[in-house]
Every structure is written in C-alpha cells, then in structure tokens.
C-alpha cells in the first residue's frame, strides 16, 4: 500500500469523526466512519445499493483492511443498509461540509472565478415510488456549482410542487455569499429573492406563469421599448453562435435596468435589471425559437447575465444527465425514504469527485477505473492526480 493512499484515507475518515452513530450500541461492531467511507468508495466504483456496496467491499477486502479501521473485517450488506436507513439525510449531508469546502476552494483557485454561478433545480428519481405504501417518487432539489462541477447540497421533497418550501431550506445549508443564484420559474418567489440578497448573493430568476402579472409586465415593457429599438432605454445586447451535435444555435440576450413603473417592484428585494434570452435552433432544416424572461439583482452587464443563464443549464447537462445515463438513477428501485435520499446524495457527491479529477476520460470510464484500480480510486478521492 502506498503511503499517500493511507494519508488520503486517514484525512477522509476524519471528515466523519463527528457524525453521530444512529445504531444501537449492540450494532456498532463496525466503525461508522469506515462504513460511510466504504460506501463513498463503492459508489465511485459503480455500486447502486447496499448489496452492491457490500459485494464491492468483499472483493476489495485486502485493500480496505489496510487503509480503514475494520477490526471485525468487512461489513455485510445489512450493515450498510442499516446505516444508510438510519442516518438522517440532513445529518449525513452535513458531515460532507468540510470536504466540500476543500473541493470548492481548490476549484475556485484553479478556475480563478470569484463569483461562481450556483444553479438550483430539482430532479425526480422516477422509479423510487411505492404505490402500495403511498410513497411518491423522490424529488430532490440540489445546488450545482456549474463552473466547478460540484454538487453543494440537496434537500428531498415529496414532489415538484414542494420546491417552493425546499429551496429556502437548501439555501440555508449552503454558503452562497458572493455567488449568483439561478433558479427556474418555480423558485421565483419574493421571499426566496430576499433570502438570497440577505445572504449577500445575487440572483437571476426565470419568469413564467407562477408570477403571471410580473411575467406579462416584463414582456409588455420589452415589447413596447422594442418598437423604437430601445432608444429610450440603456439596453445591452449579446449574441452567441454555436454549431455542433447536428444543430446550429443562435442565442441572443438583452438586459436593461428595471423600470420604476413595474408593478410590485418594492416586493422584490435587490431587483435591478430585467432581461430576455432567445434561442434560435436549426436542426435537420427545421427552425425553432424559444424566448425566456428574467429578473435579476445584477446591475446591467449583459455578458455576466448571459453567462449566468447558460451556466444554469449545467445542472441539466453536467449533473442530471450524468445521474440518469451513468448512474442510472432513474432506474433505481430504492424506496426507503432515508436510504433513497442518502443514496441520491452519494450519487451527487461522487459525481462531483469524478468531475474534479483532471483525467480526460468520460465519467463512465472514470467510474470503471475506480472499480479496477485502487490507485486511481485514491486519486479521485484526493481530487488530484497523484
């Protein structure tokens, strides 16, 4: 065993020292920190449930007993299931805070980004329902640091309509100071905007039917100003063109100061600008156009506004897509409430670790390599190329 592997694992075990053991004393045969770290490593290697975690651990027993405190050998699947069922999701997630902060600091230093975009969005694990028990599918709202490739927090809720209550809870869990928060129309709420500003962050919030009056007023104002090509308004514009994946895309952005005559303006704390983004996509000779409208606490700086909007889609393209296609999260039949929420967090956290590794391989190939090579697994855990 290489010395740097031991140092890496010792440091990681330390992140879980303060995690309170939810098991009865008679069931504390295997140290809690060791059980959790094995679960993280096994999910990195492709495990999708307690049985798979235990199977991977048994295969890697020779390695694990050298790097972890396992006085009674490798835990069985019932141990992993019991721990992940008993740990409350908020407590489980909280023990990753120091680890995440280290990753976030490293990513900020490497990218030089001092005002990152944090995208807030929900995702449903479609097969995690249990009709016989009246259990709906797990819907989790998470924060994704788009430029860093890091999942910073997650809150589970019963269904998409409950995102309005889950988002404030999620924003309390994550350090958002100095960031730009982007949220789809579901989260465009006055209380959420105020919370973001109070936490010394900025927001870019999408408008849709749930804020019908504001949505229509913004549309009407922009349409009215466009009749004389915004001669009376200090509008800023930005255009991008991209070709790839069999389609041509033209994205145009406009941003302008919020008009004083906008009804309800005092209720939106920190509101400084409004804007729109139009996507024209040509694929197989067919053209489609989509326009979206936004409110923001950012002063007019259209390139920053455009970057925030594009970065928001990172949670779909880089996070949710990987969870579905590589982790097969939509196929998971884990139904116990705490177990499925904790596993959803393990998926997001390990995806973040894989994205920090500087190798050029796909996420799927990196997961396979974690299963094949203990050295590569340690590299991913350490978030550096050793």
pLDDT of residue 159: 58
Cα four-point dihedral sign 125, 351, 142, 280? negative
pLDDT of residue 386: 40
Residue spans of the chain under pLDDT 70: 1-7, 125-137, 158-161, 384-386
What token pair was written down for 79?
């141990």
What token pair was written down for 140?
């989790």
Stated pTM of the model: 0.90
- Distance, CA of 298 to chain centre: 22
Domains of the chain in start order, with CATH, are 3-87+337-382 (no CATH), 99-321 (3.90.350)
How many Å apart are CA 92 and CA 86, to the nearest integer? 10
- Distance, CA of 101 to chain centre: 14
If one counts every other C-beta atom within 10 angstroms of the C-beta of residue 241, the result is 10
pLDDT of residue 2: 56
Collect contacts of 240-248 with beta carbons under 8 A, ≥24 apart: 240/306, 246/283, 246/284, 247/281, 247/282, 247/283, 248/281, 248/282, 248/283
What token pair was written down for 195?
């919370």
- The CA-based dihedral angle spanning residues 250, 145, 300, 274, taken in that order and rounded to the nearest 10 degrees: 70
- Residues 77, 41, 339, CA angle at the centre, nearest 5°? 50
- Residues 377, 382, 383, CA angle at the centre, nearest 5°? 95
């Amino acid at each position: 065993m290489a010395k740097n592997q031991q140092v890496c694992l010792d440091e990681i075990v330390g992140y879980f020292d303060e995690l309170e053991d939810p098991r009865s004393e008679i069931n504390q045969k295997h140290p809690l920190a060791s059980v959790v770290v094995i679960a993280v490593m096994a999910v990195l290697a492709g495990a999708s449930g307690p049985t798979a975690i235990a199977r991977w651990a048994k295969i890697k027993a020779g390695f694990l007993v050298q790097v972890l405190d396992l006085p009674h050998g490798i835990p069985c699947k019932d141990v992993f299931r019991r721990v992940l069922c008993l740990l409350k999701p908020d407590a489980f997630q909280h023990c990753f805070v120091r680890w995440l902060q280290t990753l976030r600091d490293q990513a900020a230093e490497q990218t030089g980004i001092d005002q990152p975009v944090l995208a807030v969005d929900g995702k449903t694990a479609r097969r995690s329902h249990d009709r016989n028990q009246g259990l709906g599918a797990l819907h989790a709202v998470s924060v994704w640091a788009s430029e860093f490739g890091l999942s910073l927090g997650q809150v589970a809720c019963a269904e998409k309509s409950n995102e309005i209550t889950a988002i404030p809870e999620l924003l309390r869990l994550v350090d958002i100071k100095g960031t730009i928060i982007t949220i789809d129309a579901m989260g465009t709420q006055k209380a959420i905007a105020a919370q973001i500003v109070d936490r010394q962050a900025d927001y870019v919030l999408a408008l849709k039917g749930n804020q019908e009056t504001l949505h229509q007023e913004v549309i009407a104002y922009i349409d009215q100003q466009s009749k004389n090509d915004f001669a009376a308004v200090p509008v800023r514009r930005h255009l991008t063109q991209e070709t790839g994946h069999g389609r041509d895309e033209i994205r145009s952005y406009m941003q302008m100061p919020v008009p004083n005559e906008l009804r309800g303006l005092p209720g939106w704390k920190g509101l400084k600008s409004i804007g729109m983004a139009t996507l024209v996509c040509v694929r197989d000779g067919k053209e489609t156009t989509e326009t979206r409208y936004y409110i923001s606490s950012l002063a007019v700086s259209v390139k920053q506004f455009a970057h925030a909007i594009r970065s928001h889609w990172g949670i779909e393209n880089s996070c949710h897509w990987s969870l579905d296609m590589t982790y097969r999260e939509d196929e998971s039949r884990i139904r116990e409430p705490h177990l499925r929420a904790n596993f959803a967090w393990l998926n997001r956290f390990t995806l973040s670790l894989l994205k920090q590794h500087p190798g050029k391989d796909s996420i799927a190939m990196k997961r396979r390599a974690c299963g094949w090579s203990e050295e590569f697994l340690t590299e991913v855990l350490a978030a550096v190329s050793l």
